Structure 1
Amino acid sequence: MSKDNKVVADKDLVYQLEGRPKFSIAFPLGMQHVLAMFAGNLAPMLIIAAVAKATPAQTVVMVQAGMLISGLTTFLQLYPIKIGKFQLGSGLPIVMGTSFAFVPTASAAAAVGGVPAVLGGALVGSVVEGLIGIFYKYLKRFFTPLVIGCTLIAIGINLLAVGRDYFAGGTGASDYGSWQNLTIAFATFICVAVLQRFGKGVIKTAALLFGLVFGYVLALFFGKVSFASVGSASWVNVPLPFHFIPTFDTKTIISFIAIYITIAMETIGNTSGITIATFNRTANEKETSGSVLADSIGCAVASIFGSMPQTAFGQNVGIVSMTKVINKWCISMGAAVLVICGFLPKLGAVFASIPSAVLGGALISVFAMILINGVKMLAQAGFSERNVLVIGITIALGIGLGGNAEAISGLPTWLKFVFEDSIAATTFIGILANLLFPEDKKEAATETAEA
């Protein structure tokens, strides 16, 4: 084969699941995925570390572990391991990263019990997600678009409150709401919005990363960045398990279980999103179950190593859908970069030094998009009389009542566990309302005909 024919063959391979295009073609395509998810992967860990009042050294540990586990779990999705009749991993080009959906619940746990409380809830919750993966075909009827849509709205509302506080400089900051913090945050916000609207290629898909860099440079001019932890961090270090010893609290565990149900459904949706966009079919049962099981394993290992739970990243699904590049070897190049970054503490210290106002400016629009995605999911399900009733009950009790400690002070203890976290309440109320008010098949058929 001539050199020119070899190049053509390599370029064709990127649109095939298997095969190994040459490094000069595969590596840039893999890095595109890293750029798209890098900021989103780190931000939840930085937010939780700040809420838990973790030291700079502890934050570096969390960041290191997060990058390492994201890379390893991505490898598991790409190259599944078969154990008996179960497959761990989807065998599809799925990129894994730390999930924003856990931030509200993890923040509440971190404020009370620090990082160990977060890791304990995440570790137990990951077992529940594993069970969903194992028994997926029996459980999927409980997790309807109405349930997931309402839960995403609840997550978005909670995250917007988090984003607001970071926008102003961070909860408890002495200069909370100062003109300096607001200037940095607004400038970062505008930068991200402009790049997402008018950028092309990698600049558009990695708008968050470029926005964070811009905000970071601006924060330097305002004297808001400290390099103390960067100077003290070592160049190379191996992440070790149980740097934080998990603690277990019943209320935290129940809240995490509710979020894991949502995350499992999000992973299921992203898995089918890839197969629909690239293979013109929905994901089969083995791919879907394997994807959720890999997600569960990644979450459990992340908890052991001191990082936040993992999920399939939607923005990377968008890249695959847009470019049609599904080659696993290309995606594995990006996964390898993440793994290598996990052994570089000094790099983790640089990210840990990002000021709260920069994070708030870059991410508040991302949090809004989570809420909007929930609204889109409800719209796709339709607003029949029955659906409106289910949505109304779910939002009224889950979001309206849930999360208000004073309002639920007279409830029995077991109900308090459900209603103390609005996201957990929304998920459980949504499932219950769907069961109590089953869909009328005649009504659904009429709506479909009218559409």
Structure 2
Amino acid sequence: MKENIYKLDGKISLGQAVPFGLQHILAMFVANITPIFIVAGAAGIGSGQMAKLIQSAMLVAGIGTLIQLFPLWKIGSGLPVVMGISFTFVTVLCFVASTYDYGTAMGAVLVGGIIEGILGLFAKYWRKFITPIVAACVVISIGFSLLNVGANSFGGGNGAKDFGSAKNLIAGTITLLCCFLFHIFAKSYWKQLNVLFGLIIGYIAACFMGMVDFSSVTHSGIISLPQIMPFAPKFNISAIISVTLIFLVSATETIGDTSALAMSGLGREVTEKEIAGSIACDGFVSSLSSIFGCLPITSFSQNVGLIAMTKVVNRYAIGAGAVIMVLAGLFPAVGALLGTLPEAVLGGCTIMMFGTIVASGIQMISRCGFSQRNITIAALSLSVGIGFTQVPEIFSIFPAVVQNVFASNCVAVVFLIALISNLVLPKDMERK
């Protein structure tokens, strides 16, 4: 029955499941691999190894989505949550990977994921402290912290010999314009594919300009299993503290995504069990991701928006998409092809995506209401968090561990200031 596609556990045919599942994968595919490009690039990882990491990213995203859809014990929400590699960690992991090495970043993800997973199982005891205004400030800071990352990619990538060259700027501009125009003129849920459209056109343009090297694709095999521990994890206390703090930030985003999905897709409030399972899945699957050399995984807001638009919540349809992702992760040629993506094309896509994150945070504040209390929390946390980290020398009197956590990480500072402000400011500020 056709209406079963709009039911969580409705029975549907394979012919229905595959196209709807593929739609969800296409909506998040580019965003799923982009953090790998950025962090691996900061760590100086070559295109061959990067292709293997992209392969692993697809596999882990598929596994994480399946666990969310069909929980294992208390891990997973049972809701149509689509998982992918998180942008939230890009800033801190770029810092860790470039300051130490990629193995140190993986060790921090391994430990931080376990901590978030355990906290997720006990979410009912602490999630009341992460109010909507705190989450909104965090989302805005994430967007702002990534804007310079997108701009660097647009110019050709950090350290590129031809940074800011005409070729890079042309490729980035073509990609950005295609994303922008597709988003304006496309109809219905096709708007969700604006990034993919821009990437394809920008990639074709880059090929004509001689910016793409296919040598890694021709040397890749037909099928292979992703490599286990391609980078031996190393454990540095400063890196672990930094990354774990961002895992707490990620948990606030997951609470928001899961709550929004239940309300917009199912027309009801999310349950404590679903929240706990969703956060636990974030954490424990992120630790699994580090075993494959990948970044932390989280729920994807793009897919929450797609569900809100289409009302397709069927677990089996989205599960079909997750299976497609797992299968894609077994073919290294797919990862190698994606690894040929020029930085400038990536920048053209991401600069708009990162701006969208800022806009989403502003929308979240709007939903919270512009009360004196909310404005005070937002103004204080954003001004201190973003302002101080633009001048990292201001942290020079603090111990090295504090500097490593906060000096270059505006998301961590904004989260801490917003959390403290929310706890200490009186609830009835308007009457005072």
Match of 2:198 in 1: 211
- Say if 2:189 and 2:306, in contact at 8 Å, map to a contact too: no
In structure 2, the residue corresponding to 1:19 is in which secondary structure?
coil
Match of 1:328 in 2: 315
In structure 2, the residue corresponding to 1:311 is in which secondary structure?
strand
Range 231-240 or range 335-344, more displaced: 231-240
Match of 1:44 in 2: 35
- Alpha-carbon displacement from aligned partner over 1:395-419 (angstroms, at most 9, x marks no partner): 2322211363322212244543442
Match of 2:423 in 1: 435
- Alpha-carbon displacement from aligned partner over 1:311-336 (angstroms, at most 9, x marks no partner): 11111111111111111111111001
Specify every segment of 5 or more residues in structure 2 that has no aligned partner in the other structure, as ranges.
none
Q: Does 1:25 align with 2:25?
A: no
In structure 1, the residue corresponding to 2:393 is in which secondary structure?
coil
In structure 1, the residue corresponding to 2:153 is in which secondary structure?
helix
Q: Distance in 2 between matches of 1:439 and 1:345?
A: 54
- Say if 2:189 and 2:310, in contact at 8 Å, map to a contact too: no
CA apart distance, 1:202: 5.5
- Say if 2:85 and 2:298, in contact at 8 Å, map to a contact too: yes
Match of 2:145 in 1: 158
Match of 1:77 in 2: 68
- Say if 1:30 and 1:330, in contact at 8 Å, map to a contact too: yes
Specify every segment of 5 or more residues in structure 1 that has no aligned partner in the other structure, as ranges.
1-8
Alignment of 1:385-396 (within 5 A): 385-396=372-383
CA apart distance, 1:380: 2.4
What amino acid does structure 2 have at the position aligned with 1:78?
L
Match of 2:414 in 1: 426
- Say if 2:254 and 2:278, in contact at 8 Å, map to a contact too: yes
TM-score (norm 2): 0.96
Q: Out of 174, 189, 197, which is 1:187 matched to?
A: 174
In structure 2, the residue corresponding to 1:109 is in which secondary structure?
helix
C-alpha spacing 1:414/1:383, structure 2 compared with 1 (3 Å): farther
- Say if 2:189 and 2:309, in contact at 8 Å, map to a contact too: no
Alignment of 1:168-317 (within 5 A): 168-201=155-188, 203-317=190-304
- Alpha-carbon displacement from aligned partner over 1:365-393 (angstroms, at most 9, x marks no partner): 11011112222222322333333332233
Q: Distance in 2 between matches of 1:49 and 1:418?
A: 20
TM-score (norm 1): 0.92
What amino acid does structure 1 have at the position aligned with 2:413?
A
- Say if 1:132 and 1:264, in contact at 8 Å, map to a contact too: no
Q: Does 1:58 align with 2:28?
A: no
- Say if 1:95 and 1:313, in contact at 8 Å, map to a contact too: yes
- Say if 2:83 and 2:297, in contact at 8 Å, map to a contact too: yes
Match of 2:130 in 1: 143
Match of 2:5 in 1: 14
Q: Out of 107, 123, 126, which is 2:113 matched to?
A: 126
Q: Distance in 2 between matches of 1:237 and 1:129?
A: 31
C-alpha spacing 1:437/1:418, structure 2 compared with 1 (3 Å): farther
What amino acid does structure 2 have at the position aligned with 1:346?
A
Q: Distance in 2 between matches of 1:115 and 1:412?
A: 23
- Say if 2:112 and 2:240, in contact at 8 Å, map to a contact too: yes
CA apart distance, 1:251: 2.4
Q: Out of 316, 339, 343, which is 1:352 matched to?
A: 339
In structure 2, the residue corresponding to 1:62 is in which secondary structure?
helix
Q: Distance in 2 between matches of 1:17 and 1:379?
A: 30
Q: Distance in 1 between matches of 2:242 and 2:198?
A: 32
Q: May I ask how many residue pairs the two structures share in their alignment?
A: 431
Range 214-223 or range 267-276, more displaced: 267-276
- For the aligned residue pairs, the C-alpha RMSD in angstroms reads 1.7
- Say if 1:70 and 1:298, in contact at 8 Å, map to a contact too: no
CA apart distance, 1:112: 1.8
In structure 2, the residue corresponding to 1:223 is in which secondary structure?
coil
Q: Distance in 1 between matches of 2:129 and 2:94?
A: 27
- Alpha-carbon displacement from aligned partner over 1:163-201 (angstroms, at most 9, x marks no partner): 000011111111111111111101100101111111124
Structure of greater Rg:
1
C-alpha spacing 1:435/1:48, structure 2 compared with 1 (3 Å): same
In structure 2, the residue corresponding to 1:101 is in which secondary structure?
coil
- Say if 1:254 and 1:424, in contact at 8 Å, map to a contact too: no
Q: Distance in 1 between matches of 2:377 and 2:20?
A: 43
Match of 2:361 in 1: 374
Q: Distance in 1 between matches of 2:373 and 2:323?
A: 48
CA apart distance, 1:119: 1.2
Range 224-233 or range 423-432, more displaced: 423-432
C-alpha spacing 1:345/1:185, structure 2 compared with 1 (3 Å): same
- Alpha-carbon displacement from aligned partner over 1:335-383 (angstroms, at most 9, x marks no partner): 0110001111111000011000000001101101111222222232233
In structure 1, the residue corresponding to 2:84 is in which secondary structure?
strand
What amino acid does structure 2 have at the position aligned with 1:230?
V
- Say if 2:238 and 2:401, in contact at 8 Å, map to a contact too: no
- Alpha-carbon displacement from aligned partner over 1:100-139 (angstroms, at most 9, x marks no partner): 1111111111212232122122122212321331221111
Range 293-302 or range 352-361, more displaced: 293-302
Q: Distance in 2 between matches of 1:384 and 1:268?
A: 23
In structure 2, the residue corresponding to 1:239 is in which secondary structure?
coil
Match of 2:25 in 1: 34
In structure 1, the residue corresponding to 2:365 is in which secondary structure?
helix
Alignment of 1:90-129 (within 5 A): 90-129=77-116
